[in-house]
Structure 1
Amino acid sequence: MFSKTFMDELFKPQTLYSHRTMKTVMSRLAHASIMRLNPASMDRLFELMLMAFKYQVFLCPRPKDLLLISHNHLDSIRDLVQDRPAVQNQVHETQRRLIETYTCLPPGELQLLRQTLLIFFQDYHIRMSVFMQSRVQNMNGRFVLGTTGPVPHGAEVPGLIRSVNKYFHFHEEVQRCQFPTGGAYTSAVREGSFDISGDRVLKLGTNIQCLAHLLLNYIPVTVWRQTECGPNPLAKEELNLLSRLMGTLQSESEPRPGPEKGFRINLFPSDREEDEADAEESWSGVINIQAMKVTPIRAEARVKARHCRWTGKRLIQLNCDIS
C-alpha cells in the first residue's frame, strides 16, 4: 500500500477519481491481504469507509486541518506496524511527502481541496450506528453540526462586533456591540503539530469508537431533537399554491364559483393512454392495388394509410398476399 510506485501515482497531480474507480482501488487494497469479501460485503465496507471519511472532512474546523486528519491516519498505521521496520520507513516517507506537497499550499487552495472532497461525498447518506448513537447523524443519514465547543484555531468566539474610526492611523475602537450566537462556543485550543511526529490535538482521524464518546459533549440534545422533526409542511403548501394558480383548488377565503368546469393537466402521460387514443383513430385513405400477370403467380397488395394524430405524419402499412 505504501510502496514507492503506488505513492508516486497517488501524489501525481490529477483529477479526482470517479466513484467506480475509487471503489475498484479500495477493492484491490482489501483483497491484497488474506481477507476475501463477497460483493455485498465489499459494497458495505466501501460505504462505511466513505461515510467515516466524509464525517471527518465535514466536521473539519478549517481546511488546513485536513493535514492533521491525514497525519492521524498515518500515525495509527505506524502504531500497527511497530514490528515491521520496512513498513514503518514507508509510512515515514509518505508523511514526509505529505508535508512537502500540502503544507506550503495557501488557505484558498486547501479550501478548494476540501470543497472538492465534499462534492465527491454529497450523494452518500448511509446511516452508521456509531454515529447515530452519538447523535451526530440523524435518521436520513445527514450529519448534525454542533453549536458548542471550541472555535477553529485563529478565530475568535462569535458574539462581539467592534466599530473603529477609520480616520485614525491606529484604527481606534469607538464602540462594541454584542449579539446572541445561539450556541456555547469556547476559545480555540492550541494548534496541532504538522511535523512527522507530535501532538495533533485534533481528534478527527483517530478511532471512531473513541471519538464517539467525545462527540456526546459537543452535540446538544436539543439539536438532535430538532433534526428528528416531521416532514417539512412547505412541500404541501407549494402544491396547494400550484393548484390555486391553475384554478382547481379554492382557498377558504375565496368564494366558491358556480358550476364551472376546470381543467386537468397530465404531466406524465403513460403508454396506455396513448394506445387508447390511437385505437380511437379511424382508418382513412384506403387504396387497393391489384396486379395481374400471365404467369400463374398473382400478387395482391393492399396499402392502408392513416393519419397519426400524435405525430402529424402519414403511416403506411403493407399487407401482401401471394397465391
Structure 2
Amino acid sequence: MIYCATPILYLNMGGEMLYVLQQRLQAQKISPEKTTQVINDVTGALLNPKQLEVVFDRGPLMRLAWLRTSLERVALCSIMKLDDNSSNKLFDLMIMMVKYQLATATGPREVILSTLNHLDAIRDMVMDKKLRGYVDNAHRYIVETYGGMTYKEIWSIRDDCLTEIQSHCVRVSMLLKLGMQNEDTSFNRLIQRYNEKYQERREVLENFKLLDYSEDENVMGSLSFCGNRVTLLGRNIYLPTFGLVPNIRLTRSLHHDHHHPIVEVSNKSMRQEIETLAKQLGKEDTPPMRPFSLKLFGHDDRAAMDCCTPDESAVHSSNKDEDGNLVSKATRDIEAYRTNLITSIDTDFADVEQSPRPQEMDIMNMLDAV
C-alpha cells in the first residue's frame, strides 16, 4: 500500500478553494479589509501546522467524506457564509479542477510541481509573516515527504487519488471555454515547454527518487522555494493572465479515463498568436471576470453579488495591415485565428454590469453533472 496520498488531494483542493474565494471576493467588490481577513483566516486554517501533522500522517488515503468535512471547516472558519447549495457546487468544482491536474500530468514530478504551484499562489495571497511561515512549512512537508520517494511510488499516489475522485464527472464552464475540457467531460492538456513523457520512459525512470533525479530545472521545474515550476498545472485559472506563456499547444484526450493516451495537436504559429493575444489583453483597463457568482456572504450581502455577462466583440478583417501594406494569406489566417481567440476569451472574461438581477448566474450554473 502506498501512503501519503492525502496531502496531494488536501493541498490541491484547498488551493483551488482559495482561488475561487479570492476571485469572487474581488469580483463582488468586497472591501479589501474583509477580503484580506477571509483569505488570511482560510489560509491559517488550511495550513495550520497541527492540521498538517494530521494530513501528512503516513496512512492510507483519507476518504472524500473526511476531506470534505475538513475543507468545509476551513472555509467556515472565516467571516463569510456558504449556503448548502454553494458549498456542494464549490466542492464539486474543487474536485474537478484537481482531477484535471492529476489526469493531465505527464509524470510524477509534475504532480508535485502542481502542488507547489498552489502553495506559491497562496504565498502571494497573504502578507502576514506568520501565514507565509505556514506556507513555507507546507512546502518543506512536501519536499521532505515526497523527495525520498521513487517516481513509481509518486505515480501510484497519483493513481490512488484519481481512483478516489473518478466518480465525479462534471462539466466546468471555464475548462470548456478555455478548450481544456470536452462536452463528454474528457480533458485536453495545455502544454508549455513541459512534458516528462513518464509513460514512455517508465522503465528507465520509475526507480529514481524525486530529489535524486534532476534534469534542467528551467525545463523540468524547480522544487525549491519560489522556484520556477514551469508547468501550468496548479496555477490560478481565474487570473486573466493564466496560460499567457510562449510555446503552448493543445493536446486532446478522447477519453476522460486517465489510462488512455493523449494525442498531441501542434501549431507552429501558436507562439506568435499567444504573444499577440497577451498584448491585446494587456490593454484592458480593468481585469476581466469569470461569468459566475458564488454566494459567499448570504442574503444580507446580495447587493454585492452582481453577475458577469458576456460582452460582444466585433471581428474585422482586411487584406492590408494598418499601414496599408498587403499581407499574405498565411498572415491573414493567423490574424483571423488570433481574433477568434481574443473574441472567445473576451466573452469568457468580460464583465458587463448592465445585466438585470433575474439573470444572475449562481455557481451551480457552471457545473453540469454527467
Normalising by the residue count of structure 1, what TM-score does the alignment of the two structures yield? 0.54
Residue 104 of structure 1 aligns with an amino acid whose one-letter code is G
- 5 Å-filtered alignment, 1:151-190, equals 152-153=195-196, 190=219
Partner of 1:6 in structure 2? 51
Residue 230 of structure 2 aligns with an amino acid whose one-letter code is V
Whether 1:134 aligns to 2:178 is yes
The alpha-carbon deviation at position 218 of structure 1 amounts to: 2.3
Partner of 1:202 in structure 2? 231
| Greater relative contact order (CA < 8 Å, ≥ 6 in sequence) | 2
Change in Cα spacing, 1:120 to 1:90, as seen in structure 2 (3 Å) is same
The alpha-carbon deviation at position 19 of structure 1 amounts to: 2.2
Residue 218 of structure 1 aligns with an amino acid whose one-letter code is R
Whether 1:218 aligns to 2:249 is yes
Task: State the identity as a percent.
Answer: 26
3-state SS of 1:127 partner: strand
Pick from 145, 164, 168 the counterpart of residue 124 of structure 1: 168
Residue 195 of structure 2 aligns with an amino acid whose one-letter code is P
Whether 1:74 aligns to 2:74 is no
Whether 1:112 aligns to 2:156 is yes
Change in Cα spacing, 1:36 to 1:145, as seen in structure 2 (3 Å) is same
Change in Cα spacing, 1:72 to 1:105, as seen in structure 2 (3 Å) is same
Q: Retained in 1: the 8 A contact 2:117–2:235?
A: yes
- 5 Å-filtered alignment, 1:219-258, equals 219=250
Q: Retained in 2: the 8 A contact 1:136–1:215?
A: no
Give the CA RMSD over aligned residues: 3.0
Structure 2: which 5+ residue stretches go unaligned? 1-44, 202-216, 256-370
Q: Retained in 1: the 8 A contact 2:117–2:233?
A: yes
1:25-60 deviation digits (Å, cap 9, x = unpaired): 121111111111111110000000111111111111
The alpha-carbon deviation at position 155 of structure 1 amounts to: 7.0
Q: Retained in 1: the 8 A contact 2:107–2:198?
A: no
Residue 54 of structure 1 aligns with an amino acid whose one-letter code is K
Whether 1:51 aligns to 2:60 is no
Q: Retained in 1: the 8 A contact 2:193–2:230?
A: no
Following TM superposition, the consecutive aligned residue runs of length 4 or more in structure 1 with deviations greater than 6 angstroms are 154-158
Structure with the larger strand share: 1
Pick from 27, 33, 36 the counterpart of residue 81 of structure 2: 36
- 5 Å-filtered alignment, 1:311-322, equals none
Residue 113 of structure 1 aligns with an amino acid whose one-letter code is I
Residue 199 of structure 1 aligns with an amino acid whose one-letter code is N
The alpha-carbon deviation at position 66 of structure 1 amounts to: 1.4
Residue 195 of structure 1 aligns with an amino acid whose one-letter code is S
Change in Cα spacing, 1:48 to 1:143, as seen in structure 2 (3 Å) is same
Change in Cα spacing, 1:149 to 1:74, as seen in structure 2 (3 Å) is closer
Normalising by the residue count of structure 2, what TM-score does the alignment of the two structures yield? 0.47
Residue 208 of structure 1 aligns with an amino acid whose one-letter code is I
Measure, in 1, the Cα distance between the counterparts of 2:177 and 2:161: 25
Larger C-alpha radius of gyration, 1 or 2? 1
Structure 1: which 5+ residue stretches go unaligned? 159-187, 228-323
